[in-house]
Amino acid sequence: MSIVPFDDRDGWIWFDGQFTPWREAKVHVLTHGLHYASAVFEGERMYGGEIYELTAHTERLFKSAEMLDFEIPYTVAEIDEACKQTCAKNGLDDCYVRPIAWRGTEMMAVSAQDTKIHVAIAVWPWPSYFDPEEKAKGIRLAWAKYKRPSPETEPVHAKATGLYMICTVSKHAAERDGYADAMMLDWRGYIAESTGANVFFVRDGALHTPTPDCFLNGITRQSVIRLARSRGIEIVERHIHPDELPSFSECFIVGTAAEVTPVASIGEHRFTPGQISLSLMDEYARMVRRQTTVAA
């Protein structure tokens, strides 16, 4: 498979308030964010010229920065507008949007209170996160080796770069074994999430989903909950033990990149993508394209 490196593409990146040619948007090797993971980011999608839940994503970016003890030197409205302008500058109306903020090069130590905070926004075409044919029949998930940590150990509700290291390791291991992704447990042994998406299970017509007390309460997760409730589907948020998986008939994961993706198996446990999973997958796709907010 031919790979186009992300540092060698045409286009423009919004970098600290101005547009920079894509190949010239660079940072120094001694950037604090590279060495100490002092960076936060967002993943957003533009559908038909509108970025879905743009302000909600930007507000979360600012909250994540606050949890990592730094302040983004722009307003939420300015970052919202910069995201829109970056899409327009690159001539895209269906794309993935990646804002990121990080500590710069002024200090190279654990303490970095005098570092400058940088912000960049890149956009690029990104179709379905999973193979469309595989997605329709349900993807296969392995069990991740690493667990989501306790909230007492790190800022688990920040969308911080360092928190994704175990996700990368887990997804690589799953892919090597022929799976699409991996399911992660939390430090207590409960179901948490996949490496980049929240999870839902179906039992007797109701949706069961893990309480997001040690991982992100995803924006797509919140949208799907609103969508399901608007259809009269009961939502049960609770701790779910892996031993319960045989009692669920359907499973799907949700996220900005994954959107709504049915799951056929998690390890040895099998699920059949059914009416609830497939209808929510289709309804979510229609909703984000018409940019309609479903009432809670």
Q: Point out the residues that are catalytic.
A: 159
Pairing assessment for the beta strands 206-210 and 198-203 based on DSSP bridges: antiparallel
Q: What are the distances in angstroms from CA 98 to CA 72, 119, 123? A: 15, 11, 6
φ/ψ (deg, to 5) at 252: -155, 155
201: tokens are 């299970």
CA nearest neighbour of 102 among 172, 159, 155: 159
Helix (H) or strand (E) holding 219: helix 219-230
Collapsed DSSP state (helix, strand, coil) of residue 52: coil
The span from the CA of 107 to the CA of 68, in Å, is 16
**Burial (CB count within 10 angstroms: exposed 0-12, middle 13-18, buried 19+), residue 47:** middle
291: tokens are 């940019």
* C-alpha of 218 from chain center: 7
The span from the CA of 203 to the CA of 248, in Å, is 5
CA nearest neighbour of 279 among 252, 249, 248: 252
Side chain identity at 131, as an amino acid letter?
A: D
Neighbours of 136 (CB within 10 A): 14
